Amino acid sequence: MEIVKELPEIFEEFSDQRRKSFLAVKEIKDRGIPVVGSYCTYFPKEIAVAAGAVPISLCSMSDEPIPDAEKELPKNLCPLIKSSYGFAKTDKCPYFHFSDVVVGETTCDGKKKMYEYMREFKDIITMQLPQTQDEDALEAWEKEIRKLAAYLEQKFGTEVTEEKLRAAVKQQNAIRQGLKELSGVMKADPTPMSGLDLFNVLYGSQFKFDLDGIPAELSALKEQIRAEYDPAAREKKPRILITGCPMGGATLKVVRAVEENGGVVVCYENCSGYKSYDRMVDEQDPDVWHALAERYLSIGCSVMTPNPNRLELLGRLCDEFHVDGVLEMTLSACHTYNLETHQIRNFVTKEKGLPFFSVETDYSQADIGQLNTRIAAFIEML
């Protein structure tokens, strides 16, 4: 770990949160609190919270269950989908096991079919995600959000009232703002910590179930990092922004390759980072359902066509974090992100005037040597 002086205890807590939460989720179930699992940032967590449930992200970032998944799924499928399905099918993901329902979304063909197969052994509701971001799409997405609320109301014998929904919006906005402000410490040059440390906090926050307490913990960590920050004791390094597919688990090998070869990851634009907490739900909108739909549909994922919101966020983060280069990580057989690489390369190199580097990988460890060699050459060029 790279924070100056001693690593704050709260930082260690976030880093280790996913493992500890295996037991916590069982305790939640024992108290009779429902659990709603999901895989995607398009899932409106506020609906689950307003229904009295705990939202939880499900396992999908390891190659361990992939051989089991490949007994039913094709080998040339995206590793994220195979991992997700393998964990679910073998019942090796505690969060999936304890989820009363899993909320899916039609982001890609592989996930749509995966949710269809999962229905054989789990309650699944699949939200029909529009893949444009115009007014017609917004209307359709609001209907899907209302359908989700009605489903959870019936499932849990509760009512998603406007009052509950607005309280959930305020809570989730506070969490998003906390994550955004914590991520902002990496705007300093040199950075006060490593990008891997930052990622562990961002990722670990998904597995904290005291949702009301998360903003205060994030704020305390941010203040402690700033208090311990001594620029003279830190080394300036090439500043890398990572974009592309969701990261975590096995794909952290890419972050390690950057930081073990002289660079530092200052920002994650992908679903594991800013994409999930950059935009807030408009708390002043008199129609809370419309505000929710607008916030979630505006996420700039590669499944959207056209996809201007990804470019807007990427460009803004390049400026705010003073990046020296952009690294895109795509997963093998993730067609939407791989297809969009051409557009992202042109935007980064021509519009922003920055070096761009793309790596395609999977969840195996077989390419670690190659990743180190190629990423080291990119950083040396910077």
pLDDT at residue 1, as a whole number: 34
Task: Specify the pTM.
Answer: 0.94
Cα distances (Å, whole numbers) of residue 24 to 113, 172, 232, 348: 31, 20, 41, 42
Percent of the chain surpassing pLDDT 70? 95
Query: What's residue 147's pLDDT?
Result: 98
Rounded Cα distance, 40 and 275, in Å: 11
**pLDDT on residue 4:** 37
pLDDT computed for residue 203 by the predictor: 87
Binned at pLDDT 50, 70 and 90, residue 208 comes out as confident
Mean pLDDT of 204-212: 88
Say what the pLDDT of residue 271 is: 95
Cis amide leading into 67 (omega within 30): no
34, amino acid identity: P
Query: Lowest-confidence range among 131-135, 178-182, 194-198, 206-210?
Result: 206-210
pLDDT at 206: 83
- The pLDDT of residue 12 is 52
Distance CA 320, CA 369 (A): 32
CB 84 within 8 A of CB 39: yes
Mean pLDDT, rounded, of the chain: 94
What angle do the packed helices 252-259 and 368-381 form, to 10 degrees?
A: 40
Q: What is the pLDDT of residue 10?
A: 43
- pLDDT tens sequence across 3-40: 333 444 544 555 566 667 788 888 999 999 999 999 99
- Single-letter residue type at 101: V
Q: What is the pLDDT of residue 277?
A: 98
Please say if the pLDDT value at position 204 is more than 90.
no
Higher pLDDT among residues 16 and 321, named by residue = 321
Please say whether the beta carbons of 47 and 148 come within 8 A.
Answer: yes
> What pLDDT is stored for residue 16 in this prediction?
65
Q: Is the pLDDT of residue 264 over 60?
A: yes
Provide the 3-class DSSP secondary structure of residue 141. helix
The answer to whether the CB of 225 falls within 8 A of the CB of 185 is: yes
Domains of the chain: 14-161 (3.40.50.11890)
Rounded-to-integer distance, Cα 71 and Cα 93, Å: 18
Note the pLDDT tens digit of each residue in 345-369: 999 999 999 999 999 999 999 999 9
pLDDT attached to residue 11 = 44
* pLDDT one-digit tens code per residue, 69-107: 999 999 999 999 999 999 999 999 989 999 999 999 999
